[in-house]
Amino acid sequence: MDLINAILNCFVPPASLLILAFAWPTLFFISICERLYSTYFSSEDMENKVVVITGASSGIGEQITYEYAKRGANLVLVARREQRLRGISENARRLGASHVLIIAADVVKEDDCRRFINETINYYGRMDHLVNTVTLGHTFYFEEATDSSMFPVLMDINFWGNVYPTYVALPYLRESNGQIVVNASVENWLPLPRMSLYSAAKSALINFYETLRFEVKNEVGITIATHGWIGTEMIRGKFMVEEGAEMQWKEEREVNVSGGPVEEFAKLIVSGACRGDPYVKYPSWYDVFFLYRVFAPKVLYWTFRFLFTNGGAGRTSFIGTGRPLLEGASPRRQSITAFPHGVRIRELSE
């Protein structure tokens, strides 16, 4: 058996690359044909369809809301900030949304998820798309983290904050042959420093949905959207975080997100979900790194080591990607100031 594995280890990788090289033009042509057909002949009409969007109060969730609104969908906007949702719901109505229901809820709590899904069914009588956009990232080296109480918060938001809504909504999505949309990131397989816990959570999330795809078969579609670095509400602005029994944060000022990569990514996600695409990638050229990871991992490692050797990070640096939700883990008040390439937290005197 060891001899067989040794022979396969030497033969299979180069043979696979050779086959892929010859098959690529044909596969690419078939992919283009499928995309054109799904775009012009089988794209789902969202007029009066019911779409639930979590994390809709800012960032990519807000922009996805507007894209569905332009298609005439009935919307259910879910986030912790009800006041923020009110303004977004008005914008969505002006863009063409038939009806908009806003619900303040915390997606890391299963009871809250049951509540907003049940309210959706009671109000609309059905559910067609579930769009999970809640996410929270960080920019600290793992061994430099000074408070491990943030670790489960990151996992809760990035993993359970997607799984719980899916778990509750799945029976209703089966009835409508609906679609689940997941906001992921290229970090789920592309190793980047200072993002260890975020990458681990996203990797778990992707594997969960890839497995679920086989379990639900063709009854429910799943679109996994992955992105590189895109701008969000945390690119600029200043936020205050204080300790509380639950995850809390308040803004000194709101920062609207529009235009640029976020809006473009949102358009791609909604278009892909309506076509039933299994994957949406922005930008797609990131995929080339996956080949290096599989067939030449040392080259990828050396490249990133060279690029990031001199990089640094604050001992308590955090950055929100998507909708930032931070939990004050210590009794100290902290000020989070956003910079173009990260967010640093500094302690404030009482």
| Active-site amino acid positions | 198
What gap in Å lies between CA 313 and CA 339, rounded to an integer?
Answer: 12
Q: What is d(CA 44, CA 55) in angstroms, rounded to the nearest whole number?
A: 23
Q: Could you tell me the CA-to-CA distances from 303 to 189, 191, 292 in Å, in that order? A: 16, 11, 11
Do 66 and 56 contact (CB within 8 A), yes or no? no
- Before 278, cis peptide (omega within 30)? no
Q: How many CA atoms lie within 13 A of 61 on its CB side?
A: 31
| Nearest of 297, 345, 298 to residue 140 by alpha carbon | 345
Q: Phi, psi (5° rounding) for residue 184?
A: -110, -160
For residue 37, give Cα distances in angstroms to 31, 33, 40, 45, 280: 10, 6, 6, 15, 17
- Tracing tokens 């200043």 back to the chain, one arrives at 238
**SS percent in the chain: helix, strand, coil, step 5:** 50, 20, 30
Query: Token pair of 5, please?
Result: 């594995």
| Residues sharing a CB contact under 8 Å with residue 67, sequence separation 6 or more, in sequence order | 266, 267, 269, 270
Count the helices and strands in the chain (H runs, E runs): 10, 13
- Asked if residue 190 lies in contact with residue 293, where contact means CB atoms within 8 angstroms, the answer is yes
